[in-house]
Chains A and B, each alone.
Chain A
C-alpha cells in the first residue's frame, strides 16, 4: 500500500468517508463539466472579438449592439442564471443528504472512545461502564469492522483536530468543550491519522496509527491491552523497571501494575506492542526508543519530554524492560 492509500480521503474504509467521497465526486464532475463549458464559450468569444479588432488600438471601442441580438443575449443569460441556481440547489440537496447520513444520531451501543489531544500526542481511552475496564493507550486506535464507534473528543491545551482521512472528515478537539463524532469502519486496514489544526511546533508530526480489524482480532487486542504490564522476566528487565520507577520517567508516565501513575505523558503500559513511537513519527525500534529517551527534542524540537542522562547499563536495561511491555 502506498502512502497515498493509507492517508487518503479517496480510499474510503468507512461508511462516512464513502458518503463524503461520493459527494466529492458528484461536485467534482458537475463543476468540471461547467468549468469546461465556460472555458470553451469564453475562448470562442475571445476569438470572435480578436478577429474583428481594428488596426488602431485607440479606436478599440465596441459598437452598440443591435436591438434583437441584445434581447436574445438577455434571454440566454437569464436562462443560464436559472440553470446555475438549479444546479447549485441540486448540489445543496446532495450536501444535505450526505450530512444527514454521516451525522445521524449514533447507535447508543456504539463503542465509545475518548480521545484527548495533547501537545503533541493523542491520548486514547476505551470507555466502559465498569471503571476497572477502562483502558488507556496512546497514539494508536484499534476499531472493529462493522461496529459503530463513537469518538468523544477533548483537548488538554490548545485546539487540535482529529483527522483520519480514510475514515471520516475532520473534527476539532476544543479545550473545555467536548465534541463528538462517529463512524463505522467497513473494511480492515491500517491507516494514518493526523492533527489537522495547527497546534504548535510539532503539529505536523502529531500523527496516529489507526487500525480497523476483524471483531475477533479487536476484542483479543482490547483484552490484552486491559491487562497490567507483564512482570519483568530477566535481571536486566527488573533493573530497567527500577530505573524507570526511580528516575524522571515516573513523573510523567503511567505503567499499569507499577507505582508509575502520572498522566502528563503517554501511557506506556504496553509500549512494546505499539507499531510507532513519538506520536506516529518513528518506528518502534530499539534504536529509535534509545535516542528518544536520551534526547527527544533532537528528534522533535519543542517536544515536552526532557533529555535523560542515563548510563549505558541503565539505558539498556530500561530498553529491555520497555520492549518487554507487549
Chain B
C-alpha cells in the first residue's frame, strides 16, 4: 500500500464496515462490564424510588358516594364543643398525601373559606393557623364544623361540598397550624406572602378553647 495515494476516508461498503466491527464490539463489551460492576453499588438507591410514592398518590376516577348521608358526629344538641363530647380521633388519609392537601387548598379558596378566615390569619372568622380551636381540632371535629356550621356566621356546607373534597379541606385546614405530617405539606403558596407556608413553623400544642364560643 503506497502511503501517498491513501485517503483517510474508507468507503462505506459492507466489507469496510465488517472490518471496523470488532473494535466497536470490544468498546460495547467493556462499557457493559463497567456498568455491571457498578450495579451492586447502585442497589442501595432502589428504596429511595419508593420514598414519596404515598405522598404523591392521586386518584383520577373518584368513586360516587354511597347513597347514605355523610357520617357526621353530632356532638351535643345545643352547643357543640370539645368539653362536652370529644370524638375519638379518626385518621384522615388525606393528611398523608400532598396532592389531596393541595386540592384542599384549592377548594379552601374556591369555596370562599378565605372570605372569612383569610389564608389562615382570620378576619370575620377566627384564625386557623394558631393553636386555639373553638370547636375542636381533631379531623372529625373540623369536618363536623364545616358540615354543620357553627353559631355566629359559619354556614353549613352540608350537601354543598362532596365528601372527598370535604376531607381534603379538613386536611388543608389542619395543616395551617402544623397538625399534619410535615413531609406531606404543600410548601409553596401561590398567593401574596402573608403567613408562613403551612406546616413550616412548629406550633404550640393545639388546645381546644376553654372559653365559651364567641357571642
Contact = CB atoms under 8 A, between A and B. Distances in A.
Interface of A: 49-50, 53, 56-64, 201, 246-248, 250-252, 262, 264, 294-295, 297-298, 301-302, 306-309
Contacts of A50: 13
A252 B67 contact: no
Interface residues of B, number: 30
A49 B16 CA distance: 14
Given A57-B19, A61-B6, A301-B60, A307 B11 contact: no
Given A295-B64, A297-B60, A307-B62, A64 B7 contact: yes
Given A64-B5, A294-B64, A307 B162 contact: yes
B13 A251 contact: no
Nearest to B109: A264
B37 interface: no
Contact of B11 (A49, A246, A294, A309): A49
B58 to A, nearest CB: 8
Interface of B: 1, 4-7, 9-11, 13-16, 18-19, 60-67, 110-111, 159-162, 164-165
A297 B62 contact: yes
A90 B60 CA distance: 51
A290 to B, nearest CB: 13
Given A61-B10, A64-B4, A309 B67 contact: yes
Contact of B10 (A60, A247, A262): A60
A251 B160 contact: yes
Nearest to A249: B160
A17 to B, nearest CB: 35
Nearest to B63: A307
Contacts of B67: 309
A57 B13 CA distance: 8
23 contacts: A56-B15, A57-B13, A57-B14, A57-B15, A57-B19, A58-B15, A59-B1, A60-B15, A61-B11, A62-B11, A64-B5, A64-B7, A248-B161, A248-B162, A250-B160, A251-B110, A251-B161, A252-B110, A262-B110, A306-B162, A306-B164, A308-B64, A308-B162
